[in-house]
């Protein structure tokens, strides 16, 4: 291994692939040596834009290289589990974007592969790293704040297959296995293991084959509850908004930003070395490789989220 962790970003031309490239550029211990995509001309243009030496097509072309220590997968959801296992089998560290899988069986199989490997295996559960949520987690850890209720809205307007940049997707996103995963994991991270979960969904879109609206209720071992509303039908401001109702204060988190219940801004600039959640997520990945330790948001740590999602899938079926 060189002085720096040599990273390949696969799916680099997508919205989150670029976010990872921007975050990694700020990490001294990391060097992006390879980017991979599905079309050579497009991925080469990206490599030229970011000053990256090598652009290839497909994951296989990455795994056969000896100038890659770690791989970040920002590929379609349906490929995550299989590709994660392939990276581990090639002896490389892996960070896969959320979700780990789109079924419980695939998630469990990938956990087994991670446990059989000595490589770092991490899932991009970004909410653990957003400074807004880190601020609250620090209060919980210090026994200064206890979640009583979380109310979460995850709203997008996606009646066609488009990504966060408004570009056409070749695959179909999913409210349960992707967007609900953020909140299910975060609620457990902030309030304790989930002991009860219920879900209902709206009509199935005839073109996309998925439910466009969903409601989920959760309860943790501490007695805290969570209500999550999700929609791809929301023609208005989009994103995910978290309201924490606690025993000492109310907080509203909007990605990396945080206000109290009276909409008064809370300074989170001192929470971590960056105010960018994706960069902080990548910093944890690189640090865990460098230090030879389990990262926050390892597959082992987040597997309970997918077990809850699997139970919810059975309810909805």
- pLDDT tens digits along 51-105: 999 999 999 999 999 999 999 999 999 999 999 999 999 999 999 999 999 999 9
Band of residue 166 on the pLDDT scale cut at 50, 70, 90? low
pLDDT value of position 201:
97
CATH architecture for segment(s) 5-125: 3-Layer(aba) Sandwich (3.40)
For CA atoms 85, 86, 89, 93, give the dihedral sign: negative
Q: Could you tell me where in the chain the CATH 3.30.360.10 domains are found?
A: 130-271
Q: Could you tell me where in the chain the CATH 3.40.50.720 domains are found?
A: 5-125
Pairing of strands 194-201, 30-37: unpaired
For the residues 212-241, what does the mean pLDDT come to? 95
Q: Which two tokens stand for residue 223?
A: 């007695």
CATH architecture for segment(s) 130-271: 2-Layer Sandwich (3.30)
Phi-psi region at 80: left, alpha or beta (left = phi > 0; alpha = psi -120 to 50): alpha
**d(C-alpha 44, C-alpha 57), whole Å:** 9
Please indicate, yes or no, whether the overall pTM of this predicted structure exceeds 0.75: yes
| Residue 169 predicted with pLDDT over 70 | no
Q: Are 58 and 51 in contact (CB under 8 A)?
A: no
- Strand runs (DSSP E) across the chain, as ranges? 5-10, 30-37, 54-57, 70-73, 93-97, 121-124, 147-155, 194-201, 213-220, 225-231, 239-246, 250-254, 257-260
Beta bridge partners of residue 206, listed in sequence order: none
pLDDT value of position 174:
87
pLDDT value of position 164:
58
Closest by CA to 188, choosing from 215, 219, 214, 143, is: 219
């Amino acid at each position: 291994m060189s002085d720096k962790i040599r990273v390949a970003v696969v799916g680099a031309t997508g919205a989150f692939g670029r976010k990872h490239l921007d975050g990694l550029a700020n990490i001294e211990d990391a060097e992006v040596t390879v980017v991979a995509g599905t079309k050579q001309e497009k991925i080469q243009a990206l490599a030229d834009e970011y000053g990256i030496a090598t652009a290839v097509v497909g994951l296989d072309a990455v795994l056969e290289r000896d100038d890659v220590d770690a791989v970040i997968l920002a590929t379609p959801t349906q490929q995550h589990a299989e590709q994660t296992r392939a990276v581990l089998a090639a002896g490389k560290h892996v960070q896969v974007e959320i979700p780990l899988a789109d079924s419980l069986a695939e998630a469990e199989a990938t956990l087994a592969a991670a446990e059989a490997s000595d490589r770092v295996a991490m899932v991009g559960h970004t909410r653990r790293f957003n400074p807004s949520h880190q601020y609250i987690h620090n209060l919980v850890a210090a026994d200064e704040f206890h979640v009583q209720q979380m109310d979460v809205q995850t709203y997008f307007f996606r009646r066609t297959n488009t990504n966060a940049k408004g570009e056409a997707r070749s695959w179909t996103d999913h409210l349960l296995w992707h967007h609900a995963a953020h909140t299910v994991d975060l609620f457990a991270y902030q309030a304790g293991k989930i002991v009860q979960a219920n879900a209902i969904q709206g009509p199935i879109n005839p073109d996309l084959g998925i439910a466009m609206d969903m409601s989920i209720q959760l309860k943790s071992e501490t007695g805290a509850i969570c209500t999550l509303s999700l929609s791809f039908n929301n023609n208005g401001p989009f994103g995910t908004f978290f309201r924490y109702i606690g025993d000492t204060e109310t907080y509203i988190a909007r990605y990396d930003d945080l206000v109290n219940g009276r909409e008064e801004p809370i300074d989170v600039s001192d929470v971590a070395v960056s105010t960018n959640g994706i960069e902080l997520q990548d910093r944890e990945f690189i640090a865990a490789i460098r230090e030879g330790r389990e990262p926050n948001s390892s597959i082992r740590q987040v597997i309970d989220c997918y077990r809850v999602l699997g139970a919810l899938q059975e309810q909805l079926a």
